[in-house]
């Protein structure tokens, strides 16, 4: 299923995009839409619960390369960010660090990109006092965007680079925000396309192969890309290239990336002198 086909169904029916996505899931898998909705509701509740519990906490991670980023940001007053961006960024960092410390997360769509969608959803819930039903509908739309990318491209950093993981998460979060505020499926498509294009070509280069550096802070950056993309789409700014074509382009770029830039811990920042020295210290510590 292409996103454009979902839009066409929206035009020809009186159904909301969230309802169409659930119906399409039933067509593809045979799963009861109400059960899928309840499952997604549970996932959303876990996201919000974990975001609340871990907001700005310190974490002890496997390597110690991260663990205090959310705490540091939550300990200062923002100079430029709105409250919405500030809260979303802290959550994105908190969930990334929780993942690195083996905490409970919702892989959305992957563990390495687990902070972006929760950051957006929690900011809606906490700052905007979001209506639960509307927030769930927006999350269903986000899941539909992720499903389109999964079916037509890839969500794997090993297959397509970090653009496939955090890029997809950012498109999902941007779609979630846009649908919550507008219920406009066309604007949702533009928001998702703008977000995915902004991170096109992003490589997967975890230092030492651990999902800590640069993964955690990328979650923090990416949620702000999602917010900006949504603001643009809500204002009527359109993506010149349709979402489906952006997804295809992302897939082709991912296949063109060398293996060293696809989650192997070889290239990118993982290949820098400092990264290699850090990895050597970790090895020596573990072997001692």
Predicted confidence (pLDDT) per residue in 204-217, tens digit: 999 999 999 999 99
Predicted confidence at residue 121, as pLDDT, reads 98
**Is the Cα torsion angle 125, 128, 134, 138 positive or negative in sign?**
negative
Predicted confidence at residue 46, as pLDDT, reads 98
Predicted confidence at residue 123, as pLDDT, reads 98
Band (pLDDT 50/70/90 cuts) for residue 184 is: very high
Residues 225-245, mean pLDDT to the nearest whole number: 98
| pLDDT higher than threshold 90 for residue 169 | yes
The rounded distance, in Å, linking the Cα atoms of 264 and 63 is 17
Predicted confidence at residue 1, as pLDDT, reads 85
Structure tokens, 251: 């897939």
The rounded distance, in Å, linking the Cα atoms of 222 and 88 is 10
Residues 157-166, mean pLDDT to the nearest whole number: 98
Q: Residues of the chain with pLDDT > 90: what percent?
A: 98
Which are the contacts of 72, defined by CB distance < 8 A and separation ≥ 6?
Answer: none
The rounded distance, in Å, linking the Cα atoms of 134 and 160 is 32
- Mean pLDDT (the chain) is 97
Contact 155, 211 (CB under 8 A): no
Please tell me whether the overall predicted TM-score, pTM, comes out greater than 0.95 for this model: yes
Predicted confidence at residue 288, as pLDDT, reads 78
The rounded distance, in Å, linking the Cα atoms of 137 and 171 is 16
The rounded distance, in Å, linking the Cα atoms of 264 and 267 is 8
Contact 95, 54 (CB under 8 A): yes
The rounded distance, in Å, linking the Cα atoms of 284 and 45 is 41
Residues 152-179, mean pLDDT to the nearest whole number: 98
Q: What angle do CA 64, 206, 89 make, to 5 degrees?
A: 70
Q: Environment class of residue 258 by beta-carbon count within 10 Å: exposed (0-12), middle (13-18) or buried (19+)?
A: exposed
In total, the chain counts a number of residues equal to 288
Cα–Cα distances (Å) from 103 to 75, 108, 180, in that order, read 22, 15, 28
Contact 44, 118 (CB under 8 A): no
Phi, psi of 275 (to 5 degrees): -65, -40
């Amino acid at each position: 299923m292409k996103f454009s086909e979902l839009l066409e169904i929206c035009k020809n029916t009186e159904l909301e995009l969230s309802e169409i996505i659930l119906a399409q899931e039933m067509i593809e898998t045979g799963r009861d839409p109400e059960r899928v909705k309840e499952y997604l509701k549970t996932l959303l509740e876990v996201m919000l619960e974990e975001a609340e519990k871990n907001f700005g906490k310190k974490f002890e991670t496997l390597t110690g390369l991260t663990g205090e980023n959310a705490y540091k940001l939550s300990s200062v007053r923002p100079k430029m960010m709105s409250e919405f961006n500030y809260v979303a960024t802290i959550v994105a960092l908190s969930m990334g660090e929780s993942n690195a410390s083996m905490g409970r997360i919702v892989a959305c769509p992957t563990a390495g990109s687990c902070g972006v969608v929760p950051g957006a959803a929690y900011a809606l819930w906490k700052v905007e006092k979001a209506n639960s039903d509307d927030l769930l509908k927006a999350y269903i739309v986000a899941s539909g965007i992720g499903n389109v990318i999964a079916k037509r491209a890839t969500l794997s950093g090993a297959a397509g680079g970090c653009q496939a993981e955090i890029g997809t998460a950012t498109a999902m979060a941007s779609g979630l925000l846009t649908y919550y505020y507008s219920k406009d499926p066309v604007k949702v498509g533009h928001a998702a396309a703008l977000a995915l294009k902004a991170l096109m070509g992003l490589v997967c280069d975890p230092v030492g192969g651990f999902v800590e550096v640069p993964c955690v802070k990328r979650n923090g950056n990416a949620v702000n890309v999602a917010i900006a993309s949504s603001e643009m789409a809500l204002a009527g700014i359109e993506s010149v290239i349709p979402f489906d074509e952006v997804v295809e382009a992302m897939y082709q770029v991912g296949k063109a990336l060398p293996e060293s830039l696809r989650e192997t811990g070889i290239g990118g920042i993982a290949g820098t002198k400092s990264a290699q020295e850090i990895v050597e210290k970790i090895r020596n510590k573990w072997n001692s």
